Amino acid sequence: MMQLNPDVKSVWTIYYIRRTLFFMVLTLALDYLALSEIPKWPFFTGFSPLVVLFIGLVTTIVMPKLKYKYWFFELRDDELYLKRGVLTKIDSIAPYCRIQHIDISQNIVERLFNLSRLVIYTAGTKGADLIIPGLPHYYAQELQNKLKEYTVEDAV
Partner 1 sequence: MSQVAEQIYEKRLHPFTLLYRFIVALPNAALPIIFVLYSGNTGEWVYIFISLFLGFFILPGILLNYFYFDYTITDKEVVIKSGVLSKKERHIKIDRIQNVTITQNFLHKLMRIAKVQLETAGDATTEGNLDSVSIVDSERIREIIRNHQHGKSKVDTNRFSNENGETVEKTVEEEENVIFSMSLWDTIKYGAVRFRPIVLVASAWIFSLFSQFNPNWTDELELILDSGYKEYIKQLDIFSIILYIVAGVLLVLLFSWILDILLTVNTYHRFKLVSEKGKLLTSQGLFSSQKGAIPLKKLQMMVIKSNPITRKLNFYRLDLQTAGFGGGDGTKAKSETAIPFAKFSQVKEIINKIRAVVIPEIFTKVSPKSIRRAVVKYLVFSIPFGIALYFTFDSFWVLLVLLPIIGFAAYIRYQYRGYHVENNQIIVKQGFWFQKISIIPIEKIQTIHMRSSYFQRRLGLATVEIDTAATVYGNDASIIDIDIDVATEIFEELNRLFIDDKNKGKVIN
**What does the binding site for partner 1 look like in residue numbers (CB under 8 A)?**
78-79, 87-95, 97-98, 100-101, 121-128, 130, 155-156
Q: Please, what is the minimum distance in Å from the beta carbon of residue 128 to partner 1?
A: 6
Q: Please, what is the minimum distance in Å from the beta carbon of residue 21 to partner 1?
A: 26
CA 121 to chain centre: 16
Q: What are phi and psi of 38, to 5 degrees?
A: -70, 125
Identify which of residues 40 and 108 has a Cβ nearer to partner 1 in the complex: 40
Query: What is the radius of gyration, based on Cα positions, of the chain?
Result: 20
Q: Please, what is the minimum distance in Å from the beta carbon of residue 129 to partner 1?
A: 10
Identify which of residues 44 and 154 has a Cβ nearer to partner 1 in the complex: 154
Separation of alpha carbons 138 and 119, rounded Å: 15
Identify which of residues 34 and 97 has a Cβ nearer to partner 1 in the complex: 97
Separation of alpha carbons 48 and 24, rounded Å: 8
